[in-house]
Structure 1
């Protein structure tokens, strides 16, 4: 097959400025190519990357692109410009996979493209009426499938649930188990209010009174152009953290360095509050693959791969006292460490099901079926 993958205007590929979606689509592209398919990756240009190159048998074509901003309306305009300028460059291809807002509206009519597949990794915002001639929608979780079907039921029979993937050759558990006297609670992700980091710090302040030997490490970008909540939000977080054993670390974009950071921790917390923003949760899955037990809010998207007290812990972020609920869950995890270690082993086994190889095979099977119709 000739497979083209069109990314949006924000992040370069290979990912050098973050972005879980560019990272795993690079991994899937390389799996497609390793299976003998001709693969082209269309993505934004970057001063550190050439306009054309081949990496691991995947051809990269880079044109245009914009820095992301905190203003969604401005970003929609930028993305429209990017889609209009990218459409004429689409190659002749059997299957075109799109990770972008506006591009499917134009690509569905492109004469050189046989089948168009839209990767749906966000909650719908009314755009699916623009995609009525798209051939298939690969949605990353069941909650996203339900939300799209509710908003635009005409495409229900064209949706397939195919989860995000992680690089299990990079994200894997430590070979040896190290019992640290000072345990590390870790958060990795954007520093944005919707991610609930302020809630995590409030809970940690309560929890640390009983567990003074635990420290919290918070890793991720705060800048608005990287999806963060801005310097004011970061300042608020640091103010809350005064007097607590909390360390703020900037974003880690290198996956090998990131995996080492996971393995150097003892527990992972991802207290997202994004009811209509969280679609899957790659960071908790990467943490699980590295042998960490995830503690997550009870958003539906996490329940595709996290089962309470089996592959992780889930707390009620919608309670009247969510910080108390999270603090109690942290206490449960650290107080019952032998049980938590058993959960960690089950979590790692669960995460192994989401390898690039396994998810790529799901996509290829769908592509082949699509081309037969």
Structure 2
């Protein structure tokens, strides 16, 4: 198949969707398929250099909407040369323009919402809710309701997507999703991590690795640590990820007020061996989010045998808890405190068992092989439907 994958940005600092695209595209190419990626990045940006697949990108305008007339013209000229289109994400120009071109030229497309229809986003922002309702009415409903299939990475993501907007008549499908196993040896990865962060080499720490964003619940994590630091005086927090919204100063001030600022290490954005080394080096991974349709970093943590401490707003929490590969509670200070306390109160033997359970949970539920086989099967089915 000739596959076109369309995404707003290929910058890995934007989180899970681009990482999922990169991981699965590598496997699809290995299976003999041809992958091209279309985005709305500025071609001169640093993250464009060295992109591993054929990339077509145009600088956008109109702020977060990310409009580009050149993007539209490229689709008009080239879309019929592809067998199937995969759209990643909604609420920006790329999904509307691509779906419109697909409908016009009768090219089948599937669409990953990546959790962007979750009601959390509309419940927490009145102005945002009004904007999205208008955008849905005039634009986005056409992208969703005309897709050959709208793809969800969990049953919970699918269920939640039905709530906020109408008319909603998506042809829904839950597909496997996951991440690849680390491409580096554990000892090498840990050595790379400690070389960059030697202060953590002799300290037990919990790792947060994601965007520094309000929805990730880092404020809950800091408050929970403030309530636990007397009982567990040795444990540290390592916070990794890009801070596009400049939240770090506010979070640091709150940690200082709680007298735990010396228990927190800010790592910045991590990649390659250093990222894998962080997973291997930490005691457990923490993601106290208010909303995660999947949480690819959770899958990555499990693949390294790292237990995960998450909230019940991470939509794969049931798989984690059922496998006894971590703990999950409500997305509140008390919930996060209970989750951390459940891990910290385990004895050494119990922690070792949970680490093994984490690997088993990954292999059973979130392997890249299963995810790509499911996506490939889905893409083949929609292209065959067109032929029939």
- 1:34 Cα deviation after fit: 1.1
Q: Secondary structure at the match of 1:307?
A: helix
Q: Structure 1 residues 221, 300: CA separation in 2 closer, same or farther (over 3 Å shift)?
A: closer
Q: Structure 1 residues 343, 241: CA separation in 2 closer, same or farther (over 3 Å shift)?
A: same
Identify, as 1 or 2, the structure richer in helix.
2
Contact 1:273–1:297 (Cα < 8 Å) also in 2 = yes
- 1:221 Cα deviation after fit: 1.9
Q: Structure 1 residues 181, 122: CA separation in 2 closer, same or farther (over 3 Å shift)?
A: same
Aligned counterparts of 1:232 and 1:108: Cα–Cα separation in 2:
41
Pick one of 95, 103, 128 that aligns with 1:104: 95
Q: Secondary structure at the match of 1:305?
A: helix
Deviation string for 1:3-38 (max 9, x for gaps)? 111111x344xx4x4532212211211211111112
2:36 equivalent to 1:40: yes
Contact 1:94–1:115 (Cα < 8 Å) also in 2 = yes
After alignment, is 85-94 or 204-213 more displaced?
Answer: 85-94
Q: Structure 1 residues 81, 233: CA separation in 2 closer, same or farther (over 3 Å shift)?
A: farther
1:57-76 → structure 2 map (5 Å cutoff)? 58-65=53-60, 74-76=63-65
Contact 1:195–1:273 (Cα < 8 Å) also in 2 = yes
- 1:201 Cα deviation after fit: 1.2
Aligned to 2:75: 87
- 1:293 Cα deviation after fit: 0.9
- 1:85 Cα deviation after fit: 5.5
Pick one of 310, 319, 340 that aligns with 2:324: 310
TM-score by length of 1: 0.80
Aligned counterparts of 1:53 and 1:324: Cα–Cα separation in 2:
44
2:110 equivalent to 1:117: yes
Aligned to 1:344: 355
Q: Secondary structure at the match of 1:155?
A: coil
Pick one of 286, 289, 294 that aligns with 2:300: 286
Q: Structure 1 residues 90, 354: CA separation in 2 closer, same or farther (over 3 Å shift)?
A: farther
- 1:145 Cα deviation after fit: 1.0
Aligned counterparts of 2:319 and 2:78: Cα–Cα separation in 1:
35
Where does the alignment leave 5 or more consecutive residues of structure 1 unmatched?
67-72
Aligned to 1:144: 157
Pick one of 242, 259, 270 that aligns with 2:287: 270
Contact 1:50–1:62 (Cα < 8 Å) also in 2 = no
Contact 2:307–2:325 (Cα < 8 Å) also in 1 = yes
Q: Secondary structure at the match of 2:282?
A: coil
Q: Structure 1 residues 18, 261: CA separation in 2 closer, same or farther (over 3 Å shift)?
A: farther
Aligned counterparts of 2:254 and 2:78: Cα–Cα separation in 1:
44
- 1:121 Cα deviation after fit: 0.2
Aligned counterparts of 1:171 and 1:327: Cα–Cα separation in 2:
33
Tell me how large the CA RMSD over aligned residues is. 3.2
- 1:308 Cα deviation after fit: 5.6
Aligned to 1:70: none
- 1:329 Cα deviation after fit: 3.0
Aligned to 2:209: 188
Pick one of 7, 18, 26 that aligns with 1:30: 26
- 1:360 Cα deviation after fit: 1.1
Pick one of 205, 224, 243 that aligns with 1:222: 243
Q: Secondary structure at the match of 1:167?
A: coil
Aligned counterparts of 1:268 and 1:165: Cα–Cα separation in 2:
17
Deviation string for 1:287-346 (max 9, x for gaps)? 1111111111121613253216712101223xxxx4344333323212223223212211
- 1:147 Cα deviation after fit: 2.5
Aligned counterparts of 1:52 and 1:300: Cα–Cα separation in 2:
33
Where does the alignment leave 5 or more consecutive residues of structure 2 unmatched?
118-131, 191-200
1:130-209 → structure 2 map (5 Å cutoff)? 130-131=142-143, 132-150=145-163, 151-152=165-166, 155-156=169-170, 158-170=171-183, 182-209=203-230
Count the aligned residue pairs. 345
After alignment, is 165-174 or 98-107 more displaced?
Answer: 165-174
- 1:49 Cα deviation after fit: 6.3
